[in-house]
Amino acid sequence: MPNFERQESSGVIVVDKPPGITSAKVVARVKKWLKARKAGHTGTLDPFATGVLVVCINRATKLSRFFLHGKKKYEAVLHLGVETDTQDSTGTVTNVSHNVEFSKKTIHSAFKRFEGNIKQLPPVYSALKHKGVPLYKLARSKKPVQKPARQVTIITLKILEIHSPFIRFEVLCSAGTYIRTLCADIGASLGCGGHLEELRRIESSGFSITDAVTLEELEDLALSEKSSDRIISMSNALKDMPEYIADNVLVNKINHGHIITKDDVMSEQINAFEGFIKIVDTNKTLVAVLKHAKEKNRVDYCCVFNM
């Protein structure tokens, strides 16, 4: 009987999510068109938002954990003078200010204050959970719950255009940053309020919009049985992770779950690194992801992809 695990296509595909659809529905379409056994994204986008949605296919779903905490880059539009209950353009207007004319110096100064490590109050309309219930469901039931402020990092914040009351900007930030909260906070600091009008993710965990395929393109590729051309291999998807090329002896040890010592993966680059290690065979196929064990002469298993 053929080994389905070996024949199935596994890897990462980057989708340019269109507006008006949930991330979950994008994943469902990808799974259907690629006839995948499993699929999952590595960081949701709100339905109105567009851009980079990283989808892991089949065995690559084991790699999701390595992408969840990566940096994100967005292009966004802040609408000054209008506040909404969701902090974005999908919400109900709660306050309007007509005093939205500011000098470029004042606007740049306001943006500058939000660079670096900052505290953010997560939106009451968010997918975070309280006692197992998403906050947005509680908010819609008129029982909003405010989670405590948490630290996020705004690495760079660059204004691209100012056409009052709209400000287009680019932001590079840590995972977990809410751009709509950033917009609301900048509006509050200017004294006029504001909300997120548009959002497009252009980078996520090392994947760029230039790597992305639209849903229409993916459907056409699937119909012509060429979708594999856009699937990034599991090894290449972990491009920033140190790599060790294993010989057949080490591959067999890993496949049989034997203890792996640091001597088994001797390499100046690897041994200077205290995080994860990707092990590939001589064909550059991902065999496993390992992690240095603290104060031990061994390496722990994170995930293994049996050949």
Peptide bond into 165 cis (omega under 30): yes
- Please write the tens of the pLDDT for every residue from 105-160: 999 999 999 999 999 988 877 676 767 777 777 767 777 777 788 999 999 999 99
Residue 86 has pLDDT above 70, yes or no: yes
Q: What is the pLDDT of residue 1?
A: 32
Q: Are 187 and 193 in contact (CB under 8 A)?
A: yes
Residue 274 has pLDDT above 70, yes or no: no
SS3 content of the chain, % helix, strand, coil (to 5): 30, 35, 35
Q: What is the pLDDT of residue 202?
A: 98
DSSP-assigned beta bridge partners for residue 208: 203
Per cent of the chain over pLDDT 70 is 92
Q: What is the pLDDT of residue 144?
A: 75
Q: Which residues 6+ apart lie within 8 Å of 2 measured at CB?
A: none
Per cent of the chain over pLDDT 90 is 69
Q: What is the pLDDT of residue 3?
A: 39
Q: What is the pLDDT of residue 126?
A: 65
Q: Are 16 and 30 in contact (CB under 8 A)?
A: no
Over range 73-96, report the average pLDDT: 96
So where are the chain's domains?
4-70+207-236, 72-204, 241-304
Q: What is the pLDDT of residue 62?
A: 94
Asked about 46 being catalytic, the answer comes back as: yes
- Please write the tens of the pLDDT for every residue from 29-77: 999 999 999 999 998 898 999 999 999 999 999 999 999 888 999 999 9
Alpha-helical regions (H) of the chain: 4-7, 23-34, 104-112, 135-140, 179-190, 215-223, 234-237, 248-255, 268-271
Q: Which of 16, 46, 88, 185 is catalytic?
A: 46
CATH of domain 72-204: 3.30.2350.10
Q: What is the pLDDT of residue 6?
A: 41
Cα–Cα distance measured from residue 212 to residue 218, given in angstroms and rounded to the nearest whole number = 10
Over range 242-247, report the average pLDDT: 90
Beta-carbon count within 10 A of 174 CB: 15
Q: What is the pLDDT of residue 271?
A: 52
CATH of domain 4-70+207-236: 3.30.2350.10
Q: What is the pLDDT of residue 263?
A: 79
In one-letter notation, the amino acid at residue 269 is Q
Residue 5 has pLDDT above 50, yes or no: no
Find the Cα–Cα–Cα–Cα dihedral 234, 279, 7, 227, rounded to 10°.
Answer: 20
Residue 28 has pLDDT above 70, yes or no: yes
Distances (CA, A) of 172 to 80, 90, 98, 123, 157: 21, 23, 30, 20, 7
Which pLDDT band, with edges at 50, 70 and 90, does 252 fall under?
very high
Which CATH number fits the domain 241-304, given the four candidates 3.10.129.10, 3.90.1150.10, 3.40.50.740, 2.30.130.10? 2.30.130.10
Beta-carbon count within 10 A of 306 CB: 14
- Please write the tens of the pLDDT for every residue from 159-204: 999 999 999 999 999 999 999 999 999 999 999 999 999 999 999 9
Tokens at 39, concatenated: 């699929």
Same fold, 4-70+207-236 and 72-204: yes
Give the residue among 238, 304, 299 at the shortest CA–CA distance from 266.
299
Cα–Cα distance measured from residue 138 to residue 253, given in angstroms and rounded to the nearest whole number = 50
The torsion region of residue 245 among left (phi > 0), alpha (psi -120 to 50) and beta comes to: beta
Distances (CA, A) of 247 to 159, 256, 257: 50, 15, 16
Cα–Cα distance measured from residue 10 to residue 236, given in angstroms and rounded to the nearest whole number = 12
